[in-house]
A and B are shown apart, each in its own frame.
Chain A
Amino acid sequence: MLFSSIPFLYYFLPLVILCYFAVPKSLKNSVLLVFSLGFYAWGEPRYVFLMLATIGLFYGCGLAIGKAQTTTWKRVWLIVSVVVSLGLLAVFKYADFFIGNFNAATGLSVPLLRLALPIGISFYTFQSLSYTIDVYRGNVPVQKNPVSFAAYVTLFPQLIAGPIVRYIDVARELDRRTHSWENAACGLRRFLLGLGKKILVADQFALLIKLFRQSQGQSVLFYWMYAIAFMLNIYFDFSGYSDMAIGLGRIFGFHFNENFNYPYISKSVTEFWRRWHISLGSWFRDYVYIPMGGNRVKRPRWVLNILTVWLLTGLWHGASWNFVLWGLLFAFLLLVEKWIPALQKLPAVCKHFYVLLLVCISFVLFNAETIAQAGADLQSMFGLAGLPLVTGETLYYLKSFGVLFIAGIVGATPIVKSLACRIGKTPVGSVLEPILLIALLLLCTAYLVDGSFSPFLYFRF
């Protein structure tokens, strides 16, 4: 089920809120679990059993690690949880990619599995892994209550598109959390802002991208519009989803960590990754990069660590060579930034420009169906495909989406937030804020009622 859908907004969410606040504290996790399973089953009726099996595995491994008397046995149970969960991920997400490449390399024709990718498998696998790893490390106590553990893994606000909420971050709130009008109002506000980002901004850029792909009057300018539109589309789509997840979590008494922090104002690629999909970056840092030795190793090993982490980051996004290249591109850029400190001495404008340009190019690679298409797109962007600089159609769409581009670009900076904070403290702000939120709800509803189905981009990961 999509957050940005009428069934969620006007059927599921009111019902879950009603039930959740109607039951006593001891049953709240049970309510969340039941509704979360329903939420998942709405989109993936059959794969709900796979998720339940995954929950059973991690719950059992957690208990076993807790009970194990020796480090060896603790390690065994950790390895079991890692191997089985990554094995499932490998089968469902990567098997056909590897088989396809194996066939291409050997000339054999091993049949593809053609399994549908279970929604959110990358997210809930990584979340569950954080649990067993942290139990193994002794960072968190074992969760003995299966309902609480299952509620953590299936928690519908962040189940299918993140942020990747680590067990350690919500362990306390799973058992003891407080609810208040302030929390609920704050969560509602955050949810509606995320909904607006998704429906009013991201989906409109998605429309432009669709029109671009259908166009027969493409031009160099149109390619750049496409590339920038995709940058904004993926940012508002994913950060909008994260806002909604954080807001919903807040309504139910959870405090999830931030997942985005205005990544497009970064002055280096390193900074960009500290601001973009923070939960994924920090997961790889804490569970892969640092255990491999991080940067406290010899230079060749450090380079290998970086390459490994970014290869995995690329693959996490999808089983395709363009994602692998996308990850490795960032590894290369991060290494270049480390090796050439002079880059950080450039004027701020230059640093912003180079980060935006490289991120823009990386997203063209990211969004391409194939490497060849990515190559063709980049060639067209840089005028190497013989396209005209501009066409009448390009100008039409530039005019038609001009306001949206301006709104998107401004909205991707902290300007709006800072302005809203200032106005919010005034008497006018107190009146204006709820009015704007009501307008946002009605507008989003209007777009949903009028519009067609538009799934979140990050569902495929």
Chain B
Amino acid sequence: MHKRIRNIGILALISIWVALTAFAWFAPSKDVSLWERRPLQKMPPITENSLLDGSFMKKFESYSLDQFPLRDSFRTLKSLFSYNVLQQSDNNGIYVEKGYAGKLEYPLNSVSVSHAMKRFQFIYEQYLKESGSNIYMTVIPDKGYYLAQENGYPSMDYEKLFAAVKAATPWAQMVDITGDLTISDYYRTDTHWRQEKLMKVAQRIADAMGVTAGAFTPTLATQKFYGVYYGQAALPMEPDELYLMENDILAACRVYNHETGEYGSIYDQKKLPGTDPYEVYLSGSQALLTIENPKAATQKELIIFRDSFASALAPLLVQDYKTVTLVDTRYISPNLLGEYLTFRGQDVLFAYSTLILNNSATLK
């Protein structure tokens, strides 16, 4: 009897194995992973060269992993086992604490910070030193600043990072926003901060620059914002809500994309159903944008050197500025800026997150 039960069990095991094999062989390939926000490897072509140099085998390994049936469910199973059975504190460097998913950002990469500072210094020397601009610097803390250390996760030495930035940029006025944020001001499933929670930050920066931030009405854009950490953690988490801060001034603004030569709006609603709804703010990753504000109270102009965090922040600083230009030097070399911009005493804000400063290889 025992033997029979055991044999039935082994048959079940073999059946599952065969079923997964059949799906792996015959299920149609997918193009992208929505969870991981990346294209998936397709079946590589077989050629004599690719077989001899082994490249076919490497690509097939990737293909077999990317196209495996129930891939996302298997990733969730792994995460659940890792967190709940092995009691591991993080899974692939992603941890979940108090309902917030965060990434272990550790240790402080001094070489990376130094690289970023050199790039900032280059911009200063090349364009700002003689321009008469008022220059401001704000370092945007990532979630780890509020989540990691107090919950026992390794975290970078933030104070050392802030001090290094301050020491390397004596030509800029530091605007400390760390006291204006808490962990609840960030999305639970994403890297970024929530625009509707940034009024204190915007006011702090606006005060430093001698302008006003204005008043806004939050509008719910989507109730199903699954951020980047959702896919990486592969855990069943509730989606975030994504709000847009709106007012008449922003509604009247136009956004000029220097790369495409086209105009758009502050909030790019077409991005909402896409892989990353956060790109609704100023259309996501863009090299060079200028927000034109026809209702500006002054003739002042602002240039923001920035990363993706500033996409949500910049609209809150628009009110008093005739133009706000956003430069992302990950996508445009600072050497080329002179061809697009004239530096003539505009206010200048450097707004970079600790994540970028600690991983600055992409800064040109």
Contact = CB atoms under 8 A, between A and B. Distances in A.
A342 interface: no
Contacts of B12: 434, 438
Interface string B1-17: 11101111110111011
Interface string B79-107: 10100011111101000000000000011
A449 B89 contact: no
B154 A447 contact: no
B57 interface: yes
A399 B88 CA distance: 8
B61 A433 contact: no
B23 to A, nearest CB: 9
A402 B87 contact: yes
A396 B152 contact: yes
Contact of A217 (B17, B86, B154): B154
B71 interface: yes
Given A46-B52, A217-B154, A447 B9 contact: no
Interface stretch (A5-13, A52-60, A134-142): A5-13
B122 interface: no
Interface string A431-461: 1011101100111011111110100000000
A185 interface: yes
A441 B9 contact: no
Chain A interface mostly: helix
A387 to B, nearest CB: 15
Given A443-B81, A449-B74, A14 B5 contact: no
A403 interface: yes
B75 A450 contact: yes
A339 interface: no
Interface in A409-439: 425, 427, 429-431, 433-435, 437-438
A41 to B, nearest CB: 8
B65 to A, nearest CB: 6
Given A14-B21, A399-B89, A442 B77 contact: yes
A42 interface: yes
A379 interface: no
Contacts of B9: 430-431, 433-435, 437-438
B254 interface: no
Interface string B150-165: 0011100000000000
Chain B interface mostly: helix
A290 to B, nearest CB: 41
Contacts of B106: 393
Contacts of B71: 449
Nearest to B14: A188
Contacts of B297: none
A188 B10 contact: yes
Contact of A434 (B1, B10, B60, B68): B10
Instruction: Assign chain A's interface to a size class.
Output: 35 or more
B65 A6 contact: yes
A449 B51 contact: no
B13 A401 contact: no
A404 B83 CA distance: 12
A270 interface: no
B89 A396 contact: yes
Contacts of B89: 396, 399-400
A216 B107 contact: yes
A204 B78 CA distance: 12
Most buried by A among B7, B68, B88: B88
B201 to A, nearest CB: 29
Nearest to B25: A11
A445 B20 contact: yes
A368 to B, nearest CB: 23
Contacts of A429: 2
A43 interface: yes
Contacts of A443: 77-78, 81
Nearest to B157: A216
A293 interface: no
A45 interface: yes
B24 interface: yes
B60 A7 contact: yes
Contacts of B7: 181, 185
B333 interface: no
B48 to A, nearest CB: 10
Interface in A1-50: 1, 5-7, 10-11, 14, 42-43, 45-46
Nearest to B57: A42
Given A45-B52, A403-B86, A434-B6, A446 B81 contact: yes
B233 to A, nearest CB: 11
A162 B64 CA distance: 26
A392 interface: yes
B202 to A, nearest CB: 34
Nearest to A426: B2
A14 B75 CA distance: 23
B13 A188 contact: yes
Most buried by B among A7, A429, A433, A450: A450
Nearest to A6: B64
B10 A400 contact: no
15 contacts: A216-B107, A393-B154, A396-B153, A400-B88, A425-B2, A427-B5, A430-B1, A430-B2, A430-B3, A434-B6, A434-B8, A434-B13, A446-B77, A446-B81, A449-B74
Interface of A: 1, 5-7, 10-11, 14, 42-43, 45-46, 181, 185, 188-189, 204, 215-217, 392-393, 395-396, 399-404, 407, 425, 427, 429-431, 433-435, 437-438, 441-443, 445-451, 453
6 interchain residue pairs of minimum CB distance: A434-B9, A446-B78, A400-B89, A430-B2, A446-B74, A446-B77
Interface of B: 1-3, 5-10, 12-14, 16-18, 20-21, 24-25, 51-54, 57, 60-61, 64-65, 68, 71, 74-75, 77-79, 81, 85-90, 92, 106-107, 152-154, 234
Given A10-B68, A425-B2, 15 more contacts: A5-B64, A10-B24, A10-B25, A42-B57, A45-B52, A181-B7, A185-B7, A188-B14, A396-B154, A430-B1, A430-B3, A434-B6, A442-B16, A445-B74, A446-B77
